[in-house]
Chains A and B, each alone.
Chain A
Amino acid sequence: MKPTDIAAPDYFHKVVDCQWACPAHTPVPEYIRLIAQGRYSDAYMINWKSNVFPGILGRTCDRPCEPACRRGRVEENPVAICRLKRVAADFKDDIKQRLPHPAAKNGKRIALVGGGPASLTVARDLAPLGYHCTVFDADPEAGGMMRTQIPKFRLPNSVIDEETGYILDLGVEFRGGHRIESMKGLLAEKYDAIFVGSGAPRGRELDIPGRKEAASNIHIGIDWLSSVSFGHTDKIGKRVIVLGGGNTAMDCCRTARRLGGEDVKVIVRSGFEEMKASPWEKEDAIHEDIPILNFLVPVAFIHANGKLTGVTFQKVKAEYDAKGRRNLVPSGEPDQTFECDDVLVAVGQENAFPWIEQDCGIEFDKWHMPKVDPKTFVSTNPKVFFGGDAAFGPKNIIWAVAHGHDAALSIHRLLSGEDITERPLPEVHVSSQKMGIHEWSYDNDISNDKRFKVPHRDKVVALKDIRAEVELGYDVKLALGEAHRCLNCDVQTVFSTALCIECDACADICPMDCITFTNNGEESDLRQRLKAPSPHPDQDLYVSGDLKTGRVMVKDEDVCLHCGLCAERCPTGAWDMQKYFIEMTYAGSSCPTRSRSAA
């Protein structure tokens, strides 16, 4: 293998698994260290810059960072990154003075369709640069699906008000209750750019016998949640069946429990394990006495006298074909009918753009989705950009934020007369953390604590009040314990070939057997010859140049604890612990444009 090019910005970025996995590339270890130091406001601001909604995401994020967390490969559970984010939001001081100030207008106007996370992120990035941003939303208040679809017992309005407020206070014009009915009409208003962040607002139908006849007791999940959110719906039957296995289904069943549902169950087509809902959301539902029944495909709504009485399901089992693809095939057992008073259908969401006319320069593909460039987020109309669920179908908030940042950068470059396909490189800082012979500016003593549980409100109390937040969040002590579990993966082990005398001290001390001195070879061959097995080929090998004996140093990044013992035991300083900080490129970043080579 060739010596690893650690100057490539992506190399060390990949080692910070959580940050690499985060669509918005939030510098996770950095803010966790700040939390450990009690610097909650600083931790909040780092988050605010990257992911715009720390308080909201700290409660609702899909957490792609946590399955990626290195700690999860070392022991049972990853660091509770998401809930630590909430800690920063909960314990921060007033941070208003730290926010950008409304800028003098530059005369350029941007229209943003939809007031959800994607549009608000674009507005957050562009308003401080002087753009006049106008956000249109059919609902009276900003927040989009964060406000309408996520139940209040998971995300209180106060948090949404606060964090959408920070953005609107930047001089963003919000036109609530104003649904955009025509793209042509909007284009005619001569905005300099238009961003569409209107989400995936349509719940998928379940067209099986009985749907029409029993319609009054069959509700589309997201519409029903939205109606509950605005207070239009405040009760449901005693026996409720929720169809679907995603997070919306989990929100539906838990909401139903709070509106009078006593016998609420979730019934899914797939197996329990393959459900789309996040594991912790399934846990929370089960904790609220909601059984989840699997391998049942709904075949008919049963009704009598125009009233729903139950749902009939076909029993299926999973079979895997030669390619490992799963097929659900009838198990041959008799159909099963469950009685119920109401059904909530949460079997997916779809995009809908009835308001975009065929002839306004925006092309759609065969799935009726707009053709959007995945890097610049521009549509086939150079002035119209898409982001969030509106761009590539339903994902989640953190993806919408990431899209928003990239779209804002495109819009800024477009309106500055620059090529939007050229993306400035992120700024990377790497600095030694050495304070003394065996002292580092980070806490390198590895905590053996298991993941701390977030305290919950008592179930009896929680189920009585639909607005009572279930999770109470970590207190300061629990937060400190959890923060110490972070392995500081952004503090990188940096190796200097020229300084190494091959004394083996690093290889001897490494608690994880990450370091091997051996003869060079092809990667697949090298991976066979490491001191410890290398089960994750997606985790890079860090290879030195040729050493004096002709061997090379090979470090498997996989389970490195970043404890710095290799550097402490190195007599020549060939190893150093250096903090890697990557500043993603946002609209208005002043980094020079260079072509980026793949790491």
Chain B
Amino acid sequence: MTYIAKPKFHHPGLKKNELGYTHRDYEGKISTLCAGCGHDSITASIIEACYELSIEPHRVAKISGIGCSSKTPDYFLGNSHGFNSVHGRMPSVLTGANLANRDLIYLGVSGDGDSASIGFGQFAHSIRRCVNMTYIVENNGVYGLTKGQFSATADRGSKSKKGVTNTDNAIDLVAIALQLGATFVARSFSGDKTQLVPLIAAAIRHKGASFIDVISPCIAFNNHAGSTKSFDYVREHNDAVNRLDVLVGRDPIAVDYAPGTVQVVEQHDGSRVALRKIDADYDPHDRLGAMTFLQKHAAKGQIVTGLLYVDPEAEDLHEHLNTVETPLNTLEADTLCPGSAVLDKINASLR
């Protein structure tokens, strides 16, 4: 919580993107979260990703539920559409908005309580329906707003700030997302922006259900020894399978990679992702392999990060429903209600 507004002055040499905006233009209000909150780094990463992609702020809808994480859309993209919904109901609101206007970029921001507890069902259904969105969970393993009780993603055996051991099993949202058919699945860490920013950018570019689980240490209640979501623990146990660079447009790849270490994935819109392999055997196109890899490493106490699975040819809910290209909310009455002659024809075909 900070009382003063962030000064309007910015560095005189800041670069501008294709739209003429600096990254400061993608900011929102000043954060009211605790000092040092991992969520603020995720906010900064979303700002950076949107700046780098030269996204027009008015083309983004940011939707959230309740919780520390769900407050964050107030802190980025101050000129975008926003909806702060009921606890755990972000996926339904997002799905509805997406159906009404398929032309916007949908950013769902949620937390481990909002998505793994009260909104677990909502999370599951939005993923299995392949809603075209970027679903970011800011995962700190505790209920920060109610003083740090274990959340459903807290690892079994991890210790609370007061020293109590968690006896419940953890929900691994990445594993669930893989199982439910998300077509872009990644995990990252709020303390590693070089990994996180390109992941968010690639997810925004991905058509289909993109899910990113971002481990985000809660400074106030979950950054102690014994926690498995602290800065120190995540840094020690982070097993990154790959690093990526998002390539907008069709510019040649400028960076020199050692042969065989890079894999270029082209997405629907022509944008490409250059994956630099860290784990040589890891194949991000193998859903089953990803699930196995994840479970094996989780059993060893390792946190697998990076782009874990991507299907570049994914379809989304609109394709499944065979909706028209024009956003539904812009269809005029005469299109929506073509008249009794057409109705008669339909009725006749059903007789």
List the interface of chain A (C-beta within 8 A of B).
Answer: 73-75, 437-439, 444-446, 448, 501-505, 507-509, 511-514, 532-533, 535, 548-549, 559, 561, 563, 565, 568-572
- Give, as a whole number of angstroms, the nearest-CB distance from B32 to chain A: 11
- Is B38 a contact partner of A503 (Cβ separation < 8 A)? yes
CB < 8 Å A-B pair total:
102
- Residues in B whose Cβ lies below 8 Å from that of A511: 6-10, 24
- Is A73 a contact partner of B2 (Cβ separation < 8 A)? no
CB closest residue in chain A, given B223: A501
- Is B193 a contact partner of A504 (Cβ separation < 8 A)? yes
Decide yes or no whether B249 CB sits under 8 A from chain A: no
Decide yes or no whether B40 CB sits under 8 A from chain A: yes
- Residue from B13, B35, B217 in contact with A535 in the complex, judged by beta carbons closer than 8 Å: B13
Which residues of chain B from 175 to 197 have any CB-CB distance to chain A below 8 Å in the complex?
190-191, 193
Q: How far is the CA of A444 from the CA of B223 in the complex (A)?
A: 30
Q: How far is the CA of A505 from the CA of B33 in the complex (A)?
A: 11
CB closest residue in chain B, given A447: B7
A-B contacts, 18 listed (Cβ < 8 Å): A74-B9, A438-B3, A501-B36, A501-B232, A502-B191, A503-B191, A504-B40, A504-B190, A504-B193, A505-B40, A511-B24, A512-B9, A513-B10, A533-B13, A559-B12, A565-B4, A569-B31, A570-B35
CB closest residue in chain B, given A446: B7
- Give, as a whole number of angstroms, the nearest-CB distance from B30 to chain A: 8
CB closest residue in chain B, given A533: B13
Q: How far is the CA of A569 from the CA of B36 in the complex (A)?
A: 6
- Give, as a whole number of angstroms, the nearest-CB distance from A493 to chain B: 14
- Residue from B6, B8, B219 in contact with A565 in the complex, judged by beta carbons closer than 8 Å: B6
Which of A448, A535, A561, A568 gathers most chain B CB within 10 Å? A568
- Is A502 a contact partner of B231 (Cβ separation < 8 A)? yes
- Residues in A whose Cβ lies below 8 Å from that of B12: 73-74, 559
Decide yes or no whether B268 CB sits under 8 A from chain A: no
- Residues in A whose Cβ lies below 8 Å from that of B191: 502-504
Given A74-B9, A563-B7, A571-B36, A503-B41 contact (CB < 8 Å)? yes
Q: How large is the interface on B (under 10, 10 to 19, 20 to 34, 35 or more residues)?
A: 35 or more
CB closest residue in chain B, given A513: B11
Decide yes or no whether B235 CB sits under 8 A from chain A: yes
Q: How far is the CA of A561 from the CA of B34 in the complex (A)?
A: 22
- Is B1 a contact partner of A438 (Cβ separation < 8 A)? yes
Decide yes or no whether B304 CB sits under 8 A from chain A: no
Decide yes or no whether B44 CB sits under 8 A from chain A: yes
Decide yes or no whether B70 CB sits under 8 A from chain A: no
Given A504-B193, A568-B35, A509-B7 contact (CB < 8 Å)? no
- Residues in B whose Cβ lies below 8 Å from that of A504: 40-41, 44, 190-191, 193
- Residue from A446, A535, A565, A572 in contact with B36 in the complex, judged by beta carbons closer than 8 Å: A572
CB closest residue in chain B, given A549: B235
- Is B36 a contact partner of A559 (Cβ separation < 8 A)? no
- Give, as a whole number of angstroms, the nearest-CB distance from B217 to chain A: 7
- Residues in B whose Cβ lies below 8 Å from that of A439: 3
Which residues of chain B from 5 to 21 have any CB-CB distance to chain A below 8 Å in the complex?
5-14
Given A501-B36, A503-B38, A571-B36, A565-B2 contact (CB < 8 Å)? yes
- Is B37 a contact partner of A75 (Cβ separation < 8 A)? no
Decide yes or no whether B110 CB sits under 8 A from chain A: no
- Give, as a whole number of angstroms, the nearest-CB distance from A364 to chain B: 48
- Give, as a whole number of angstroms, the nearest-CB distance from B113 to chain A: 21
- Residue from A512, A513, A548 in contact with B232 in the complex, judged by beta carbons closer than 8 Å: A548
- Is A532 a contact partner of B35 (Cβ separation < 8 A)? no
* Residue interface bits B109-133, CB-to-A below 8 A is 1, else 0: 0000000000000000000000000
- Is A509 a contact partner of B6 (Cβ separation < 8 A)? yes
- Is B44 a contact partner of A508 (Cβ separation < 8 A)? yes
